[in-house]
Amino acid sequence: MNAAMARMKNPLQAAWQAIKRRWPGRGEGSGPLPVRDHFDVGGARPVRLLAFDQTLVAVVGVLLLLGVVMVYSASVALPDSPKFASYEPHHFLLRHVLALSIALVAALVTLQIPIAFWEKYAPWVFVAALLLLVAVLFFGKVVNFSRRWIPLGGMNFQPSELAKLAIAMYAANYMVRRMDTRDSFFRAVTPMVVAVAVAGALLLQQPDVGAFLIIATIAMGILFLGGVNARMFFLIAAVMLATLALFLAFDDLRRERILAYLDPWNPAYAQGKAYQLTHSLIALGRGEWFGQGLGASVEKLHYLPEAHTDFLLAVIGEELGFVGVASVILMFFWLTRRIFVIGRQAIALDRVYAGLMVQGVGIWMGAQAFVNMGVNLGVLPTKGLTLPLMSFGGSAILMNLIAIAMVVRVDVETRALMRRGVS
C-alpha cells in the first residue's frame, strides 16, 4: 500500500516541479508571471510581449477614458462663448481623441524599442529638448501671454512636455555614468545643476513656472534615489529657489498670483487673479458627495476658465462629487506607487538606468498630478499644469503615453530576466 502511494506521489511531485519551473513564483506569493518565451533584453531577437503589468495598463486606460468623457463634458458648451463661436460643440472632443489615437500609436512603437537604446541616446534626447525650448522662444505661438507651443500645421507641440521625459532619461543616464563620482560633491553636482539651470532659464522665458518646478523635482528625485551626496540637493534647491525668486521679483503677474492664492476671497483678487481658484472651489463645493450628475456642471458654462485643461478636476468634483475626485486621486496614487515598484525591481536586477528612469517617470506623474490637484483644491498657487493622462492637450497626452510605454517595456524586460534567473 505504501509503495503504491509513493508511486502516485512521485509523478505528482514531478508535475508540480515542472509547473514551478515553467511559471516560477506561483503559489509562493512572489509576484506575477514573467514572460514565457525567449526575450533578448538587448534587442537582438524579436520581442514578444507575453507578460506585462495588466493592472497598470488597465488603470491607465480607465484614466484615459474618464479623461475623454470629462473633456467632452467640460468643453461642450464652449462654442456658446464669443471666443469659441466658430467651433462645433464636439471640436475639443475630436481633437482630444485624435491626439489620443496618435499617442497610442506612438506608445506601441515605443514599446518595441529596447531600453538600452534610450540609455545610449538619452543625452541627445535631452539636447533635442533644449533646442526645442530655444526654438519655441523664436517661433512659438503665444496663448494667454505665454509662448509655449510650436505650430505644426493643424496641431501644436509643447516642448516642455518632452523636456520632462528628457530630464528623467538624462538624469538616470548621468547617474549610471557618474556612479563612481556621486560621493564627490563638485564632480557630481556641476553637470546636473547646469542642466537644470539651463532648462529652467528657458522655461521661465516662456514663461512656464510649473514645468520648471516639475523638471527640477524629477532631477532632484532621481539624484536622491541614485544615492548622491545630500549636499547636492541643497545646492540644486538653492539654485531653483533663487531662480524662482528672481523671476517673481521681475514678474508682476506671477507675484500677484501668489498674493491672490493667499487671500482668494479678497474683493481685490476674487474677480482678478483669484478668479479661477474661487470658481474651482465653488464647483467642488457644489459637487458634495456624489456630484450634480454627468454633464450637469454649472461652473463650466463660461464661469471657470480652462475647465477642460488645468481645472478638469473641478468639473469632475462638481459632476461626480467627492466620490469621483477621491477615485481619481486613488488611481493616481496607485499608478505612481506601481511605477516606483517596477523601477525598484529593475534596480534589484542591476538595471540601474532602467530603474532610475522609470522612477523618474513616477516622480513626474505623481508630482504633476499632485500640483494640479492642489491648484484645483486651493492648496497650491495657480499653475499652468494639466492633469496627466486626462486633461485636454495633445503634447501632454503624447509624452505621457510614451513614458508609460517605456515603463511597461522595463517591466517586460525585468520579467524576462527574472525568468532567466530561475530557469
Q: What is the C-alpha separation between 89 and 72, in angstroms, rounded?
A: 9
Would you kindly state where each structural domain of the chain is located, as residue ranges?
Answer: 64-112+272-418, 115-250
What's the rounded mean pLDDT across residues 258-262? 74
Q: What is the C-alpha separation between 225 and 28, in angstroms, rounded?
A: 29
pLDDT value of residue 230: 66
Band (pLDDT 50/70/90 cuts) for residue 385 is confident
pLDDT value of residue 25: 39
User: What secondary structure letter does DSSP report for 270?
Assistant: H
pTM over 0.85: no
In percent, the amount of the chain with pLDDT more than 90 equals: 44
Written as nine digits, the cell of 181 is: 563620482
Whether the ω angle into residue 388 lies within 30 degrees of 0, i.e. cis, is: no
pLDDT value of residue 84: 79
What's the rounded mean pLDDT across residues 272-296? 88
Please check the confidence at residue 238 and state whether its pLDDT lies above 90: no
> Which residue carries 484614466 as its cell?
63
341-369 confidence digits (pLDDT tens): 999 999 999 899 999 999 999 999 999 99
> Which residue carries 515553467 as its cell?
22
pLDDT value of residue 2: 46
Band (pLDDT 50/70/90 cuts) for residue 399 is very high
Query: What is the C-alpha radius of gyration for the chain, rounded to an integer number of angstroms?
Result: 24
39 or 367: which leads in pLDDT: 367
Please check the confidence at residue 9 and state whether its pLDDT lies above 60: no
100-131 confidence digits (pLDDT tens): 999 999 999 999 999 999 999 999 999 999 99
In percent, the amount of the chain with pLDDT more than 70 equals: 80
Window from 176-190, 322-336, 369-383 with minimum mean pLDDT: 176-190
Roughly what angle, to the nearest 10 degrees, separates helices 209-225 and 159-177?
Answer: 20
Q: What is the C-alpha separation between 277 and 311, in angstroms, rounded?
A: 9
Band (pLDDT 50/70/90 cuts) for residue 394 is confident
Please check the confidence at residue 270 and state whether its pLDDT lies above 80: no
> Which residue carries 506585462 as its cell?
52
265 or 71: which leads in pLDDT: 71
Band (pLDDT 50/70/90 cuts) for residue 337 is very high
Band (pLDDT 50/70/90 cuts) for residue 325 is very high
Please check the confidence at residue 20 and state whether its pLDDT lies above 50: no
298 or 268: which leads in pLDDT: 298
Please check the confidence at residue 179 and state whether its pLDDT lies above 80: no
Q: What type of residue sits at position 44?
A: A
CB-based contact 68:100 (threshold 8 Å): yes
Please check the confidence at residue 183 and state whether its pLDDT lies above 70: no
pLDDT value of residue 37: 37
What's the rounded mean pLDDT across residues 264-270? 74
- How would you class 234 by CB atoms within 10 Å of its CB: exposed for 0-12, middle for 13-18, buried for 19 or more? exposed
Please check the confidence at residue 421 and state whether its pLDDT lies above 70: no
Window from 3-12, 215-224, 285-294, 350-359 with minimum mean pLDDT: 3-12
Roughly what angle, to the nearest 10 degrees, separates helices 209-225 and 352-376?
Answer: 140
pLDDT value of residue 29: 38
What's the rounded mean pLDDT across residues 22-51? 43
β-pair type (155-157, 141-143) = unpaired
Angle at 388 between CA 384 and CA 390, to 5 degrees: 105
pLDDT value of residue 359: 96
**For all residues of the chain together, what is the average pLDDT?**
82
Q: What is the C-alpha separation between 341 and 61, in angstroms, rounded?
A: 19
Band (pLDDT 50/70/90 cuts) for residue 23 is very low
pLDDT value of residue 146: 77
Window from 15-29, 64-78, 150-164, 165-179 with minimum mean pLDDT: 15-29
Q: What is the C-alpha separation between 338 and 270, in angstroms, rounded?
A: 40
Q: What is the DSSP string of 143-167?
A: ETTEEEEEEETTEEE-HHHHHHHHH
Most confident of the following: 73-77, 220-224, 367-371: 367-371
Total Cβ atoms within 10 A of residue 366:
20
Band (pLDDT 50/70/90 cuts) for residue 7 is very low
Band (pLDDT 50/70/90 cuts) for residue 181 is low
